[in-house]
Structure 1
């Protein structure tokens, strides 16, 4: 069972992703609402996969991705962001994101993206 850390500043989005993963071979081991918490939780929990929003307060998803990749170059981070963030998505791939999902998305897309990791 893959262990997942969900990072998004919107509580409803964290809950939505958590509910989508509940019926599959994923265990949500933690949640974070900003990039600083994401880095702390990553170190503490050592998840197999991180779903990372791009636009967040305090430290955005791209910066958090960079820090997590410094700690663990093999980290599997999938960026999750709204339409209109295509340039930031390319930046995330350059910094080591394993993929990206554009909000809003269907459960099948999320499961497919995470199952490939």
Structure 2
């Protein structure tokens, strides 16, 4: 799951991870949205712009 308030950074992360074995299950623009989606998808890895 990619968490970043910048859509441009989200797209860059999608490109970086596209040639790997990782599957992006969700992109979130806020921490609140990420918490909701985390419960739904239970991803193994979360990238964040903290």
TM-score clears 0.5: yes
The alignment partner of 2:23 has SS state of strand
Count of aligned pairs between the two proteins: 50
Structure with greater strand percent: 1
- Per-residue deviation, residues 52-73 of structure 1 (Å, max 9, x unmatched): 112xxxxxxxxxxxxxxxxxxx
- Is structure 2 residue 46 aligned with structure 1 residue 50? yes
Q: TM-score, normalised by structure 1?
A: 0.42
> Unpaired segments of 5 or more residues in structure 1?
55-117
Q: TM-score, normalised by structure 2?
A: 0.95
Q: Which has the higher contact order (CA 8 A, sep 6+)?
A: 2
Structure with greater Cα Rg: 1
* Structure 2 Cα separation of the partners of residues 36 and 53 of structure 1: 14
Structure 1 residue runs of 4+, over 3 Å off? none
> Unpaired segments of 5 or more residues in structure 2?
none
